[in-house]
Amino acid sequence: MSSAILLVGGMGTRLQPLTFNTPKPMLSVAGVPFTEHQIIKAREAGFTEIVLATSFKAELFEPYFGDGERFGISIRYAVESVPLGTGGAIRNAASMLTGSGPVAIFNGDVLSAHDLAAQLSFHVKNQADVTLYLTEVPDARAFGAVEFGDDFRVTAFNEKMENPPTNMINAGCYIFSREVIDSIPAQQVISVERETFPGLLNDGARVFAFIDRNYWLDIGNPSALMKATRDLLSGAMYSAATPVLSDGSFIAAGASIAATAKITSSVIGSGAQIGSGAVIEGCLIGAGARVGQEVVLTDCFVADSAQVESGVIAGGSFLGFPLK
């Protein structure tokens, strides 16, 4: 039994207006909710149960994922009526796991090709308390910069700072021993990045760095979210959850595309209609949206059921989303 927790309770403020009605992890990426890519990744790495730690718009997850049978993995839901922060969420969700071994924790907004099974083996081999997946970025200022020694023992955890001492960052997937999770105070708001990790280092805990430089993307802002879809559609990143594509785009069942419309690197939601002569490139068109004739859209998000009048030309825009 290998167990995982997926942190999906954040407000996703950087992705507004997309997240006014939809939690960030349920936003469509390459035609399926982002969370589905992570759940399938966990299953492919041999995980058999996963608890979704939900809070903001918690009620939107279960109708889609159910008990997980459709996805080949057991799924349960730990709902926080008040958000408990990343640490509090982990503690709360762990009580719903049936396994008692190490637990993989995923941030709900990271698309990565890192070797999760190897991270778990590395954790077990080192008899670690926590094993952090690290990747290297050109500019670490917006991330947690993590320092470690020749033996891969983590020596310092620096959360978001102006002059980070290293470009190796916390890439948002951890393995925790069960004892460490149980030591997090219950029902309290706790940040794993600001409190748990620095506290563990202070106490001399065995915190290890697992380095993997394969594809990594934080989908937390609109341009990154769009990039995730493009990379999955183009094959620059692989996910077993990406649906079957036609010509590098995903056209959901029930969408109707005029014969003279040109669609490239885009996702067209179910029941959407695309008018004649429209040119759609690198866009996410929501379910039931109606895009008129001769519309030209590049890098746009179109909301579910929105209407884009004929002749509209737009680039990098959000069309049809609520204002708050």
Is residue 76 near ligand GTP by the rule CB under 6 A?
Answer: no
Helix (H) or strand (E) holding 34, with range, is: helix 34-44
Question: In 3-state terms, what secondary structure has residue 163?
Answer: coil
- Candidate list 2, 3, 4, 12; residue touching ligand GTP; CB under 6 A: 12
- What are the backbone angles phi and psi of residue 125, rounded to the nearest 5°? -60, -40
Q: Which residue has the tokens 């769009």?
A: 226
**Shortest distance, position 106 Cβ to ligand GTP, whole Å:** 8
Per CB under 6 A, 11 contacts ligand GTP: yes
Judge contact between 232 and 214, C-beta under 8 A: no
Q: And the tokens for 69?
A: 């049978």
**Closest separation in Å from C-beta 58 to ligand GTP:** 9
Interacting stretch for ligand GTP, rule CB under 6 A, among 102-110, 121-129, 239-247, 259-267?
A: 102-110
Among 22, 35, 38, 86, binds ligand GTP (CB under 6 A): 86
- Contact between 18 and 63 under an 8 Å Cβ cutoff? The reply is no
Choose between 23 and 31: whose C-beta lies nearer to ligand GTP.
23
Q: How far is the CB of 318 from ligand GTP (least distance, A)?
A: 15
Name the residue nearer to ligand GTP (CB basis): 250 or 321.
321
Q: In the complex with ligand GTP, which residue's Cβ is closer, 86 or 131?
A: 86
Half-sphere exposure of 8 (CA within 13 A, CB side): 30
Q: Is 35 in the site for ligand GTP (CB under 6 A)?
A: no
Amino acid code (one letter) for 38: Q
| DSSP three-state, residue 74 | strand
Of the candidates 2, 4, 10, 50, which one interacts with ligand GTP according to CB under 6 A? 10
Q: Which positions from 38 to 67 touch ligand GTP by CB under 6 A, shown as an x/- string?
A: ---------------x-x------------
Phi-psi region of 202 (alpha: psi -120 to 50; beta: other; left: phi over 0): alpha
**Does residue 7 touch ligand GTP according to CB under 6 A?**
yes
Q: Is the dihedral of CA 66, 69, 71, 75 positive or negative?
A: positive
Q: State yes or no: residue 83 binds ligand GTP (CB under 6 A).
A: yes
Restricting to residues 210-239, name those near ligand GTP by CB under 6 A.
220
Task: Determine the interface stretch with ligand GTP among 3-11, 27-35, 127-135, 307-315 (rule: CB under 6 A).
Answer: 3-11
14 near ligand GTP, judged by CB under 6 A: yes
Binding mask 103-142 for ligand GTP (x = CB under 6 A): ----xxx---------------------------------
Q: How far apart are CA 236 and CA 298, in angstroms?
A: 20
Verify binding: residue 89, ligand GTP, rule CB under 6 A: yes
Q: How far apart are the first and last CA of the chain?
A: 43
CA–CA gap between residue 282 and residue 157 (Å, rounded): 37
Tell me if 160 contacts ligand GTP by CB under 6 A: no
Report residue 39 CA to chain centroid gap.
10
User: What's the Cα-to-Cα distance from 118 to each of 88, 178, 205, 257, 316, rounded to whole Å?
Assistant: 27, 19, 21, 43, 38
Closest approach of ligand GTP to the CB of residue 170, in Å:
11
Indicate whether 87 belongs to the interface with ligand GTP (CB under 6 A).
no
Q: Is position 9 an interface residue for ligand GTP (rule: CB under 6 A)?
A: yes
10 Å CB burial of residue 139 (0-12, 13-18, 19+) is: exposed
Burial (CB < 10 A; 0-12, 13-18, 19+), residue 150, is exposed
Q: Which is nearer to ligand GTP, 26 or 120 (CB)?
A: 26
Q: Which residues bind ligand GTP (CB under 6 A)?
A: 7-14, 24, 53, 55, 80, 83-86, 89, 107-109, 220
